[in-house]
Amino acid sequence: MKLFPSLRGLAATAIGCLLALSQAQAQGVDLLPSWNDGAAKARVVAFVKAVTEPGGKDFVPPAERIAVFDNDGTLWSEQPVYFQAMFVRDRVVALAPKNPAWKTKEPFASLIKGDLKAVAASGEKGLAALMAAAHAGMTTAEFDKSVSDWIATARHPKTGRLLTDMTFQPMKELLAYLRDNGFKTFIVSGGGIEFMRPWTERVYGITPEQVVGSSGGLKYELRDGKPVLVKLPSVVLNNDKEGKPVGIQRHIGRRPIAAFGNSDGDFEMLAWTTSAPGARLGMLIHHDDAEREFAYDRKSHVGKLDRGLNEAGTRGWSVVSMKDDWKAVFSAPN
Amino acid sequence: MKLFPSLRGLAATAIGCLLALSQAQAQGVDLLPSWNDGAAKARVVAFVKAVTEPGGKDFVPPAERIAVFDNDGTLWSEQPVYFQAMFVRDRVVALAPKNPAWKTKEPFASLIKGDLKAVAASGEKGLAALMAAAHAGMTTAEFDKSVSDWIATARHPKTGRLLTDMTFQPMKELLAYLRDNGFKTFIVSGGGIEFMRPWTERVYGITPEQVVGSSGGLKYELRDGKPVLVKLPSVVLNNDKEGKPVGIQRHIGRRPIAAFGNSDGDFEMLAWTTSAPGARLGMLIHHDDAEREFAYDRKSHVGKLDRGLNEAGTRGWSVVSMKDDWKAVFSAPN
């Protein structure tokens, strides 16, 4: 009996490790090239050094190096509306012929007329409820395919870029940098968990089990004798604001040591992350670059950042200026 | 600015890889030494070879190598009652002085009198509800500590072993063997998620985020100005039977390619895992060793295995005989 079927796999892993090592040994390579030298970048690097240095007073074992990232406004743009709202609109329009009652039922009626503001006004919670209502009865496999098909061609109304090309290059470098240093990187978003999972691995290198999001009920049943999971209209997790620490505990079961957000919806996630002893990192991405992206904060109906700006200083959170701290904003087209 | 704080970490990883490689290269080392040579062991090895061989028709990329394990009766014993029932009894007895109403309220009254059968009869679902009721109002940190303290000394009523020494050595070898081959190993148990997480990393090498279990509601709030997560009496996931594929989708978001269970509570998990195309592995541990562990199946009130035995053959699932397939049962004392 051959007991070492994975010899080639192990060899490949060892070679991969050696390559990573030699790459890191090459002096002068900046692993965060899209970040300008400044306080934000220095803070990240100092934090990573503190928690990874063996024997250091702030050393954290790799299994406990949990970093959580909001998605909308933190890893990709969220203006003029959460991108998921565009998906919901397109899905509702596509499904409308089979659901004639929607023509007179709100918020479906407004949606079908193209009133995205009405969707946006209901927030991520309203979006999740709409998603659940619009997709109840679909199997998870059918829903996955509908997301994958849509995201492959969906473009931003202002920039014309693919939505997956509205992702932030500095944050992708940060994700990779943390993973290179033994961190596990999780998305913790108010967006729908099943809306994100079909593409986060390709776009961010984040596998489905490391995506936490608002979640609807599911039911196991047999269709044509085969097991399927069917989406229910119920909401089992509203993963926003106070819901984010709940989602983190439910899915990760361990308090993160680093958290990245951009709005007051991330306030409790950062508070939960940074209020335990030891080295902790809390960062808020401030959308202050109207030229390269969008500028909004205290008054915005999407991604409102008000309390976070007020309290970042006293809580020891860094505020990242997209304008000043980032050399580039969007990643190169995928 | 020093940009390579993790150089030593990377070096350690590379050295670890090389050690693993040289270990595997040493001819004749059996990575599953507690398994007798036979059909079950051969099936595992052939499956792992099939999904890890680059270019093979059944090759599965590492990110998709998801293996799920039931806990009670699959990774450790479950007789004479689920071990969690003993925890619940001890907790209820400890908390009883502060909850005088329990003296006349079922199932608390029976529990306080030591009637574990009454708890067992309510099944894993009843246990989860009892857990939730008994611990509502505690913070997750307080609950974690109560589990950790308890499991450090809790012993089995028949064998006198620590409960964590009632874990199965062949299954621990299997977990390690799969992980060495790029698999991610998850627990998917009807037991309480917060009951398992405090010790699964130490005992099985399974980190908290890879533990899926029955879950109660949580609420974020401030106590003495510090954020805490408080346990609620509600049940948000009954992770048993049809609930297991739901828990898998919610937490992992990807269909496993291998599933290991021991009772009809695992039937749907194995059906979900093995009913998709490609190489799949479904295994049922059969408790047929009264001498070294316990012998029970079709008639047992705990860990009943009836439909699984009937349908394993037609579904292509392997039935593992603890008596014939395992050289050893329990792991050496921790």
pLDDT in tens, B259-290: 999 999 999 999 999 999 999 999 999 999 99
Q: How far, in Å, CA of A187 to CA of B167, rounded?
A: 33
Which candidate, A62, A46, A52, A66, places its Cα nearest to that of A260?
A66
Q: How far, in Å, CA of B72 to CA of B334, rounded?
A: 19
Chain A interface mutation, best of B209, B241, B251, highest count of A Cβ atoms under 10 Å: B209
- Taking a C-beta distance cutoff of 8 angstroms, is the pair B125, B293 a contact? no
Q: How far, in Å, CA of A86 to CA of A155, rounded?
A: 10
pLDDT for B27 equals 54
Phi-psi region of B303 (alpha: psi -120 to 50; beta: other; left: phi over 0): left
Does the interface predicted TM-score (ipTM) exceed 0.95? Answer: no
Question: How far A217 CA sits from the closest chain B CA (Å)?
Answer: 9
Give me A255's structure tokens: 């308090």
Q: How far, in Å, CA of A249 to CA of B150, rounded?
A: 21
Chain A interface mutation, best of B199, B218, B241, highest count of A Cβ atoms under 10 Å: B218
Give me B45's structure tokens: 């090895």
* Beta bridge pairs of residue B215: B237
Tallying the residues shown for chain A, one arrives at 334
**What element of type H or E holds A90?**
helix A83-95
Which candidate, B132, B222, B169, places its Cα nearest to that of B33?
B169
Q: How far, in Å, CA of A232 to CA of A162, rounded?
A: 30
Query: If contacts are CB pairs under 8 Å, which of residues 57-76 in chain B contact chain A?
Result: 62-63, 66
In this complex, is the C-beta atom of B26 within 8 Å of any C-beta atom belonging to chain A? Answer: no
The residue with greater pLDDT, B117 or A265, is: A265
Mind giving me the DSSP string for B85-130? Answer: HHHHHHHHHHHGGG-GGGGGSTTHHHHHTT-HHHHHHTHHHHHHHH
Give me B330's structure tokens: 């329990």
Q: Is the peptide bond before B107 cis (omega within 30 degrees of 0)?
A: yes
Question: How far A51 CA sits from the closest chain B CA (Å)?
Answer: 9
Q: How far, in Å, CA of A33 to CA of A227, rounded?
A: 47
The amino acid at B109? A
pLDDT for B225 equals 94
Q: How far, in Å, CA of B314 to CA of A125, rounded?
A: 45
| Residue A205, SS3 per DSSP | coil
Question: How far B225 CA sits from the closest chain A CA (Å)?
Answer: 10
Query: If contacts are CB pairs under 8 Å, which of residues 238-257 in chain A contact chain B?
Result: 242-243, 245-246, 249-254
Phi-psi region of A333 (alpha: psi -120 to 50; beta: other; left: phi over 0): beta
pLDDT in tens, B205-247: 999 999 999 999 999 999 999 999 999 988 899 999 999 999 9
Contact list in A for residue B243 (CB cut-off 8 A) is 220
Contact list in B for residue A16 (CB cut-off 8 A) is 17
Q: How big is the CA angle at B133 (ends B127 and B138), to the nearest 5 degrees?
A: 115
pLDDT for A280 equals 98
Whether B5 sits inside 8 A of A211 (CB atoms) is no
Q: One digit per residue, pLDDT tens: chain A, 334 residues?
A: 333 334 444 445 545 544 554 455 445 689 999 999 999 999 999 999 999 999 999 999 999 999 999 999 999 999 999 999 899 889 888 888 988 988 888 788 888 888 877 767 766 667 776 777 778 899 999 999 999 999 999 999 999 999 999 999 999 999 999 999 999 999 999 999 999 999 999 999 999 999 999 999 999 999 999 999 999 988 899 999 999 999 999 999 999 999 999 999 999 999 999 999 999 999 999 999 999 999 999 999 899 999 999 999 999 999 999 999 999 999 987 5
* Beta bridge pairs of residue B222: B227
| Residue A241, SS3 per DSSP | coil
Question: B115: which residues sit within 8 A by CB, 6+ positions away?
Answer: none
Residue B124: pLDDT band with limits 50, 70, 90: low
Which candidate, B248, B71, B216, B214, places its Cα nearest to that of B140?
B216
Cα distances (Å, whole numbers) of residue B181 to A81, B34, B56, B67 = 43, 18, 15, 11
Question: B63: which residues sit within 8 A by CB, 6+ positions away?
Answer: A201, A207
Chain B interface mutation, best of A17, A179, A197, highest count of B Cβ atoms under 10 Å: A17
Contact list in B for residue A4 (CB cut-off 8 A) is 24-25
Pairing of strands A258-261, B184-192: unpaired
Q: What rounded mean pLDDT belongs to chain B?
A: 90
Helix axes B169-180, B39-52, angle to 10 degrees: 20
Whether A229 sits inside 8 A of B246 (CB atoms) is yes
pTM for the whole structure: 0.91
In this complex, is the C-beta atom of A10 within 8 Å of any C-beta atom belonging to chain B? Answer: yes
pLDDT for B18 equals 46
Q: How far, in Å, CA of A298 to CA of A293, rounded?
A: 17
Q: How far, in Å, CA of A270 to CA of B264, rounded?
A: 42
Side-by-side strand order, sheet with A226-237: A226-237, A211-223, A184-192, A66-69, A258-261, A281-286, A318-321
Tallying the residues shown for chain B, one arrives at 334
- Taking a C-beta distance cutoff of 8 angstroms, is the pair B221, B230 a contact? yes
- Asked whether residue B308 carries a pLDDT value surpassing 60, the answer given is yes
Which of A45, A220, A246 is opposite residue B1, by nearest beta carbon? A45
Q: Where are the beta strands (DSSP E) in chain B?
A: 66-69, 184-192, 211-223, 226-237, 258-261, 281-286, 318-321
Mean pLDDT value of segment B44-51: 98
- Taking a C-beta distance cutoff of 8 angstroms, is the pair B329, B289 a contact? yes
Contact list in A for residue B17 (CB cut-off 8 A) is 10, 13-14, 16-18
In this complex, is the C-beta atom of A226 within 8 Å of any C-beta atom belonging to chain B? Answer: yes
- Taking a C-beta distance cutoff of 8 angstroms, is the pair B199, B151 a contact? yes
Q: How far, in Å, CA of B32 to CA of A298, rounded?
A: 59
- Taking a C-beta distance cutoff of 8 angstroms, is the pair B64, B155 a contact? no
Which candidate, B295, B287, B275, places its Cα nearest to that of B326?
B287
Q: How far, in Å, CA of A319 to CA of A308, rounded?
A: 9
pLDDT for A334 equals 58
Burial A64-99 (b: 16+ CB within 10 A, else e): bbbbbbbbbbbbbbbbbbbbbbbbbbebbeebbeee
The residue with greater pLDDT, B8 or A118, is: A118
Q: How far, in Å, CA of B306 to CA of B323, rounded?
A: 18
DSSP A58: T
pLDDT in tens, B9-33: 444 554 554 455 445 544 568 999 9
Q: How big is the CA angle at A109 (ends A108 and A111), to the nearest 5 degrees?
A: 65
Mean pLDDT value of segment B182-198: 97
